[in-house]
Each structure stands twice: as structure tokens, then as C-alpha cells.
A and B are shown apart, each in its own frame.
Chain A
Amino acid sequence: MKKTIHQVNERIRDGNARVVTAEEMPGLVAELGEKDALAEVDVVTTGTFGAMCSSGSFFNFGHADPPIRMERVWLNDVEAYAGLAAVDAYIGATQQSTTREDQYGGAHVIEDFITGKSVELRAISRGTDCYPRRTITTELLLENLNQAIMCNPRNGYQRYNAACNSTDRVFYTYMGMLLPSCGNVTYSGSGLLNPISNDPHFRCIGSGVPCFLGGAAGMVIGEGTQASPGGGFGTLMVTGDMKQMDSEYLRAATMKGYGVTLYVGLGIPIPVLDIETVRSCAVKDEDIWVDVIDYGIPVRNRPSMMKVNYAMLKSGRFEMNGEEVRTSSLSSLRRARRIASELKGWIESGKMTLCLPTRPIDYTKKASPMRETVQGPRVLEIMDRRIITISEDEPIRDAARKLLKGETNHLPVINSEGVLVGIVTTYDISKAVVNPGKGTLVRDIMRRKVVTTTADEAVDIAVQKLEKHNISALPVVDRDFRVAGMLTAMDLGKLFGGRWLK
């Protein structure tokens, strides 16, 4: 048996459509069997509510008198992109205020407009014959704009890798606060309620399909940026009228240490026309697997600690490396559910009818990493290759001598096998001279916790280490932890004119 989209719409119009949420569907299919579920269910509604940084809105402000062609535009001190015609601008959710930094940004401007607050527009122009005006400042309400069209290039990630941190310090990331020594795991996404997870082959989701966006009836434009559905990480580009939106489903947020983002509510109704759709909509949290990625390691292909599914993540805790670890979601399951049931209400009441994609999305496509024509500099290129070390058994006085002779402030300490075991600085030695009680050998005064780098590490990462630990030098070590050189703040300064240091 097959149904057509027209039959489904007919039933929606008649008020007879059977609509269920993606959370109810697996149970229903288990109970009725696939064939009867197909006969029974007309539409499955999905929902997700989480941080979606790649979001923003187009505005048209209308013409002023005398008219201005806005070249740069700020809304409550948040710059919007104005490289468009005259009085159009696009505000990106993550753009931060020039005055309030990460406490206010594009996402907040969007939320303020939606909640009916007045927003200050400032714009400048060089003035032309047709647009003579050079500056403008005015207060605007959402109703004063001709258009406020949300257009989000990348929303609704099919799933998202979970995050943890194996290092010994706290990390603040776009995945939230990651405690040291894998003290917690954070994740995002609504699992079985996610739109694409219910239609991974994009048989029903594609260009022109209606959706719920921020409380408004919106539309899927098509494939989202960076979409990688071939690897299970599909994304969507979506649009909707901000004037119909509701701040229950659109919230500005600040991720500490990362910046401003927008929590977006998105839901897509899926027409159930054949057995394949019944099957894909019966997806369970247990079926959706992601990696737990170690954010402590600063490379693109961060290593995976283990695989987990959304059932494990949602349960609040699971076992990793023999230890129980607690999880935090960053998206809201409660609101995702509310979106799916709101959407269900819209369809049951005939407020929204469905259609099939006017253009399909290629579900085999995979995103590729950036083609980098210029390799960022590596530590190897700028490190100090002189290897001046001291053995832990030598007297402090010898260390002082070496520091003086080597004209450095940092001396890596090695053991009898030549392995790095500590570091002493001129400061440590001065301290030892003032307080001689601690001992006479290097081992008595050295710092045992050494932050190191490697020759092939990116300079940017090494700089991050220097800044985070508030230190000025890193021993460069090889695979066996033997010293291969030193990287100091001076090496960076000399070679790059300070460009690498903030």
C-alpha cells in the first residue's frame, strides 16, 4: 500500500489526519506492525531546540528622508552585514556587540525584536548623488521593518558528537563547560525527535517543504552549509518570517568562553507515504550513535573516546573507561517535544498542509575540510634549536650558571635517561637563594609539572598553551619526551612582529 501526498493533505483539510510525534512513532510501529502503521499514520512531527550558531535574519528598514545607502549598519551596537542594496542588512546570530562583547550579540537583537523591544539602528554611508545622506540613527520596532526574514544557513544537525576533555584543566567550549579528566560529557540534539534522523535519505525533507521555525510556519530552503549526510551529519538551510515568531522558541544565549549563539526551535512534519518512511520514522534513541570527542586535543580530527547513543546520553550518566560519567545536554528535550506537539496541533487543525521537495537533497554527500594552500606555521619553524638542559642531580648553582650562559630564563630538567622531568626558571633559582632551606640540588626546587609542545604542533596551539597557563616558554619534546628545543614568547615576537600574541 502507498499513499499520495494529496491523500494526506485531503485528510488534513478534512480534519481527519492522524498525526503522531516522532517520539510516539516507534511504540506505535512496534504495536501495529509496519503495514498497519502505514495505514494508520499520516504525518510524523519532529522537533529540536538547541544552539544553532549559523543563524541570522535579513532586514529591510525602508527608506529614510533624505535617503541613505547604508554601508555599515549597527543594531544595538551589533554590526550587521550591509554589503547589499541601500536599506537591506543581514544580522548574524554570533556577531558580538562592539560595546558589550559576549553579553549581547546578533542573537539578542533578534530576540529583542521578537519580544517587541525597540532596537537602535545606526548606519553610515559615504553619500552619493542618489543617496545623499551620510548618517542615520533611529529606534525601530519589529513592526516598523518592511521585512524581517530569518534565514539560517545551517540548522537542524542530524546529530552531534558528544564532548569531553581529558586534560587537567577546565575547557569552555561551544559544547559548554568541560570538566578536567573527563569529568563530564556534554551533548546536543534531540535524538529520535530530530527531523533528519527520521528521514536520513531525504525522501520527504528538501526544498520547499514546510517547517516550524522559531514558532512561525517556515520553509526548508534545501541543503544546509557543511551538510554531510553521507556521514550521518546532514544539515538544513531554513527560512521563516520573524514577525510570526515567538521567543519561547528562539532564545539568545552566551556560551561562556565561546560567545553568543541563538537557540533555535525547528520542527519538520514528515508525510508517511510508504513503508520506508514508516521504518525511518520508527528510529529510536538507541539507534542513533555518536562519538564522544576529546576536546582537550586541539586538532581537527579530535580522537574519539568511545561511541554512545542518544539513549545513553539522555539517561544522564554512562560508563566511560570503567568510570561513571555524568552528561549534560545543551539543547532542550522538553522544548523539542513541545515543538513536535505544537506542529502536530497545527496539522490536526488544518493550519499547515504538506508537500514533497521541489528539489531533492543528495543524501550521499560528504563535507570536506578546508583546502589550506598556506600551511599555518609549525613549532619546528620557529623554535630555538639550542638544547640547553640540566640534570636533576646537579647543584642549583650549576643551573644558575647555565641560565646565565645560555641567556635564557627557562631550563628544562632531565633525568639520567635524558627524559624531561621538570623545569627551573631564573625565578625559581632566585627563590632558592633567598630561601636556601629547600635543598641544594635542582631536583629539590624544580617544577615537576611541565607544559610542553612538539615540533609539528601548530604555532597557534602552542600560543594558546602559553596564554592559558600564563607562562612564557614551552620545552619542545619528541615522542620519547626528550627535549628537542625550546619555544619562548621571544621566538614568536621576533619572527612574526608580535602577530601571534594578543
Chain B
Amino acid sequence: MKLLVTFSRKEGKKPIIAQVVRDTGVLVSVERALIDSSEGEALIDIPDDTCRIVRDKLADLGAAVRFLEEEIALDESECVDCGACISICPQEVFSFDEESKLHMDAEKCVLCGRCIEICPHRALSRKSEA
């Protein structure tokens, strides 16, 4: 399961994720991170059954946590199966099936936003905004 973690760095630079790994023993994989001097945002992937302890630990450390359930959403009525999204996705989320219909492997998505930006038919969005 994917978690979007946002944290403030005002109180100093704490290695939050490393701390979570140490304290919970859960192996966290960081899929995307954007950190500047005052705040940070990281998208992490963890085994489903560890969600609660990781979330609680992060909350203890002062981070805000949001669960992401395959957040990239496809509007089938707008999609024309052109495939413009296929080669630009860094995670190979998109492919054609035998019928040349667009297939999405949303699990792999790291929400970089590239496909949303370039879909000529505005068929892609973040699920929360869809």
C-alpha cells in the first residue's frame, strides 16, 4: 500500500523515514520524494499489513499521512486508446492489451503526474480530484 507522507522540517532535519524503519522494522521503499528546506513530501510503499504501525509511528513523529489507493484514475468515456501515455510513464503503468485497448497497472504508479499533463483527451486525473 502507498502512503503519502508530508512533514515540516521547521524543527530541524529529522530522518523521519529512517526512524520509522528502525523503530518498526518495516522495510519502507521510497518511490518519490520532494524535500526542500522547510517541508517535505514522500510517497512510500509498504506491505499492506504494516500500514497501521507505520502510520502511527509517522504520526508520532509529527508527519501527516494519507493512504493512497491507486490514485491515478482513467475516465473511459474520454480515453480513445491512443497510447500517448504509454511511453512517457517512468513506471510502465500503461500498455495495450491484445485488442489495443489501454490497460493500466495502477499499482505501479508513483503519481509523478506526467501522464495527467500530456493526455490529449484529459482522460487521466488523480482519483481524489476525479
Contacts and interface: CB of A to CB of B under 8 A. Distances in A.
A208 B85 CA distance: 38
Contact of A329 (B83, B118, B121): B83
Contact of B99 (A177, A329, A334): A334
Given A251-B121, A253-B121, A332 B87 contact: no
Interface of B: 80-88, 92, 95-96, 99-101, 114, 117-118, 120-122
Nearest to A255: B120
Given A177-B114, A256-B117, A328 B96 contact: no
A333 B87 contact: no
A173 to B, nearest CB: 11
Give 3 nearest A-B pairs by CB, closest first. Answer: A184-B87, A253-B120, A328-B87
Interface in A141-193: 172, 176-177, 179, 184-186
Contacts of B121: 251, 253, 263
Interface in A240-284: 251, 253-256, 261, 263
B93 to A, nearest CB: 12
A49 interface: yes
Contacts of B88: 176-177, 179, 184, 328
B100 A326 contact: no
Contacts of A177: 84, 88, 114, 118
A186 B87 contact: yes
B122 to A, nearest CB: 7
A271 to B, nearest CB: 27
B84 to A, nearest CB: 5
Contacts of A254: 120, 122
A484 interface: no
12 contacts: A176-B84, A177-B118, A186-B84, A251-B121, A253-B121, A254-B120, A261-B120, A263-B120, A316-B86, A326-B86, A326-B92, A332-B83
A288 interface: no
A356 interface: no
Contacts of A76: none
A261 B120 CA distance: 9
Contacts of B81: 332-335
Given A177-B114, A251-B121, A330 B96 contact: no
Contacts of A330: 82-84, 120
Contacts of B96: 316, 333
A172 B92 CA distance: 20
A332 B118 contact: no
Contacts of A263: 80, 82, 120-121
Contacts of A185: 87
A205 interface: no
Given A49-B80, A335-B80, A337-B100, A328 B85 contact: yes
A390 to B, nearest CB: 34
A179 B100 CA distance: 23
A96 interface: no
Interface in A21-44: none
Contacts of B83: 328-330, 332-333
Given A316-B86, A334-B81, A335-B80, A176 B99 contact: no
Count chain B CB atoms within 10 A of each CB in A179, A327, A332, A337 and give the residue with the most. A332
Interface string A294-337: 00000000000000000000001000000001111111111101
A326 B81 CA distance: 16
Contact of B87 (A49, A261, A327): A327
Given A335-B80, A337-B100, A328 B120 contact: no
B118 A334 contact: no
Nearest to B94: A328
Nearest to A333: B100
Given A50-B82, A176-B84, 10 more contacts: A49-B80, A176-B88, A179-B88, A251-B80, A256-B117, A263-B82, A316-B96, A326-B92, A327-B87, A329-B84
A330 B82 CA distance: 5
A462 to B, nearest CB: 27
B108 to A, nearest CB: 15
A51 interface: yes
A253 B121 CA distance: 5
A202 B121 CA distance: 33
A331 B100 CA distance: 11
A457 B108 CA distance: 44
Contacts of B86: 316, 326-329
A328 B95 CA distance: 10
B80 A326 contact: no
Given A328-B88, A334-B100, A176 B118 contact: yes
Contact of A334 (B84, B95, B101, B120): B101
Contacts of B101: 334
Contacts of B117: 256
